Structure 1
Amino acid sequence: MVIRKHAHARAGLVGNPSDGYFGKTISFVIRNFGAEVVLYETPELRIEPNDRDHSVFTDINHLAKDVRQFGYYGGIRLLKATVKRFADYCAKEGIPLHGRNFTLRYESNVPPQVGMAGSSAIICACLRALMEFYNVDVPLHIQPNLVLSVENDELGIPAGLQDRVIQVYEGVVFMDFNRGLMEERGYGNYEIIDPSLLPPLYVAYTRQLSEGTEVFHNDIRSRWNRGEREIVSAMYHWAGLAERVKEMLLSGRGRDIGPLLNENFDLRRRLYKISKGNTDMVDAARSVGASAKFTGSGGAIVGTYEDEAMYKKLEAAFSELGVAVIQPQILRA
């Protein structure tokens, strides 16, 4: 028996980064990119390395380039931590596991270090494979928390629930991480939105390397923890933008959401230290009339455009920056 499970990249449409601060967001899955985890029964438990886990290099420049692209850790730690966390969950819930062993391997074509949730895609796909192998049904609303715990608790990677919710639920989801709900039951309200209500969207990402989320969120988190009025107010504002975009989508006004996406980024630009490469992407998109904001923590942007003529202008503007652009596939082909 060979089990193959997938999870896809994602884009935060609006509201981020408030998801990690009891806010609200809308996110959608990007089927153009994803991770695949393959699991099959073997005599011993084995996790096979991917290319990004290798330790042999052609020369010193090859090593330096590899570290800049993938960091000091590949995907093996993600798989090991997921298996461990899954075992902990089953033990806590009193779920017996059979004694058969397996081999895990993974592949991913999610662009690294550009805020499209490549790491959590690997974890999510691994969790799905483990659930099938052991015939364990983890409730849908619990799965994002389990994926998040792999990163937060096992690996010490700061992250919020947004990525994990959309990668578990897929499609387009409005998420409300209300503090009362989160503290009472540990998860928010997740509302599925019909993807056909979305206006034409693009996603663009740099082919250069971006600063990782672990660095990007550090200062804001500490300021939030200190209760700084400016940061607390910003989180409420981002959450409000997500609520307004949801209302516009549901009322058939999806083509009017562009200014709110711009507002989402403009507030972020005032509060965060954002590199010139990232602001250049946003400015290039806006120069042809499209809206633009980060999909996540930097390195990729999402926005609306009017028609194919404007999309062609986006392609031209981004090509001058060495930036790739796609029309995201949200639904299954």
Structure 2
Amino acid sequence: MIIETFSYPRAAVIGNPSDGYFGKTIAFLFSNFQAKVQLYQTPELDIQPQRLDNTRFHSIRELVENVNLSGYYGGIRLLKATIKVFYDYCRECNIQLDNRNFTIRYDSNIPLRLGLAGSSAIITACMKALISFYGVAIPKPILANLVLSVEDKELGIAAGLQDRVAQAYSEPVYMDFNKKTMEKQGFGNYEVLDASLFPNMYIAFRKNLSEGTEVLHNNLRARFNIGEEKVLEAMKTWAGYTEDFREALKSHDYKTMHELINANFDLRRNLIAITPGNIEMVEAARSVGASAKFTGSGGAIIGTYENEEMYQKLIKALAKKNIDVIKPNIVN
């Protein structure tokens, strides 16, 4: 029997980048792209590479382009680290695993290095496949923690909980990472939201604009850790935006949601140096009346639009700058 599990890219609707800083945020998954993991029993444990895990290239240039896109190890390291973290968790919790081995492979068409949580989608799908194969029950908040530990502890990749919580729940989630709560129970307070409440939303990205989320995360982390007042106040403000957005969502207050999305980015722009290409995407979207902010840490944007007429204007305006626009299929 072949076990197939799926995970999807994440879009932060409001509140980011406060998820790693005891803040609040709202995020959802969208199924326009996906990471898929296949796992089945075999005599030996075998991890099979995906197309981005090439070791043979037509030229040096092709090798360099591959490294720039997917790093030196592609997704193989993600699977190895996930299997190790899963095994260590089971051992620490006295969960007995049987002696079966397996072959595992993954495939993903999630655009890389655009702040869409493509790496954590692969890890989450892998973790869910292992859970299914061995019949282990792991609570969703703990699953999110384990996925995060694969990246930040095993692989040294700067990351926060937001992506992993959304992918663990596979539903839109309001997340409160209050420090006292996190210290007491090891995870935040998470509330599942109704996908049908969200307004008309778009996601846009330029595939050749890829800077990697760790650049922003490391800069903010250092400033947060030294207690820079401007950063601490911004985190409180983003948390407030999240609270206001949740209330506006429940009352169908689309105007307020539009304004909060714009305010989220504007605060970010005042706090952090943002590249011209990223600013161009936001300003192009806003030029037709849509709201716009980052979906994550740059490279892709998310926002609201009023109607189909505005959406078509949005497509036209962004196409002139080689920016793709999609309507996200929100996973619920």
Q: Same fold (TM over 0.5)?
A: yes
Aligned residue runs from structure 1 range 298-313, under 5 A: 298-313=298-313
Give the 5 Å matches for 1:92-241: 92-241=92-241
Q: Secondary structure at the match of 2:106?
A: strand
Q: Which amino acid aligns with 2:200?
A: P
- SS of aligned partner of 1:55: coil
Conserved? CA contact 2:209–2:277, under 8 Å: no
CA shift at 1:209, angstroms? 3.3
Hey, what does 1:319 align to over in structure 2?
319
AA aligned to 1:201 is: M
Contact 2:2 2:40 in 1 (8 A): yes
Structure 1 unaligned runs (5+)? none
* 1:3-152 → structure 2 map (5 Å cutoff): 3-152=3-152
* CA offset digits 1:189-223 (Å, max 9, x no partner): 11111111111000001121311112221111101
Equivalent in the alignment of 1:259? 259
Distance 1:314 1:55 in 2: 40
Q: SS at 1:288's partner residue?
A: coil
**Which aligned runs of 4 or more in structure 1 are off by greater than 6 angstroms?**
none
8 Å CA contact 1:202, 1:303 repeated in 2 = yes
2:276 pairs with 1:288:
no
SS in 2 for 1:107: strand
What is the alpha-carbon distance in structure 1 between the residues aligned to residue 314 and residue 171 of structure 2?
Answer: 25
Cα contact 1:68–1:209 (8 A) shared by 2: no
For residue 314 of structure 2, what is the amino acid of its counterpart? L
CA displacement 1:25-68 (0-9 Å, x = unmatched): 00011111110000011110010011111121111221122122
Residue identity in the other structure for 2:210 = S
Give the whole-Å Cα distance in 2 for the aligned partners of 1:331 and 1:213.
23
The answer on whether the counterparts of 2:28 and 2:331 sit within 8 Å (CA) in structure 1 is no
* TM-score, normalised via structure 2 length: 0.98
Letter in 2 for 1:41: Q
Equivalent residues, number: 332
Query: 3-state DSSP class of the match of 2:31?
Result: strand
Aligned-partner residue type, residue 264 of structure 1: N
CA contact (8 A) 2:145 2:161 kept: yes
Q: Please report how far the alpha carbon of residue 255 of structure 1 lies from its aligned counterpart in structure 2 after TM superposition.
A: 4.6
Q: Is the 8 A contact 1:198 1:255 kept in 2?
A: no
User: Does the 8 Å CA contact 1:258/1:303 hold for their aligned counterparts?
Assistant: yes
Given that residues 197 and 254 in structure 1 are in contact (C-alpha distance below 8 angstroms), is that contact kept between their aligned partners in structure 2? no
Secondary structure of 2:8's aligned partner: strand
Residue pair 2:289, 2:305 contacting (<8 A) in 1 also: yes
Q: Distance in 1 between matches of 2:98 and 2:185?
A: 30
**8 Å Cα contact 1:78-1:150 kept in structure 2:** yes
Return the alpha-carbon distance in structure 2 between the equivalents of residues 114 and 329 of structure 1.
Answer: 18
Q: Which amino acid aligns with 2:75?
A: G
Q: Which secondary structure state, in structure 2, belongs to the residue aligned with residue 13 of structure 1?
A: strand
Structure 2 gaps of 5+ residues are none
**AA matched with 1:200:** N
Root-mean-square deviation (CA, aligned residues, Å) is 1.0
Q: Specify the code of the residue in structure 1 equivalent to 2:27.
A: S
Within 5 A, what are the aligned runs for 1:266-281?
Answer: 266-281=266-281
Question: Contact 1:69 / 1:209 at 8 angstroms: preserved in 2?
Answer: no
- AA of the residue aligned to 1:155: L
Instruction: For 1:95, give the aligned amino acid.
Output: I
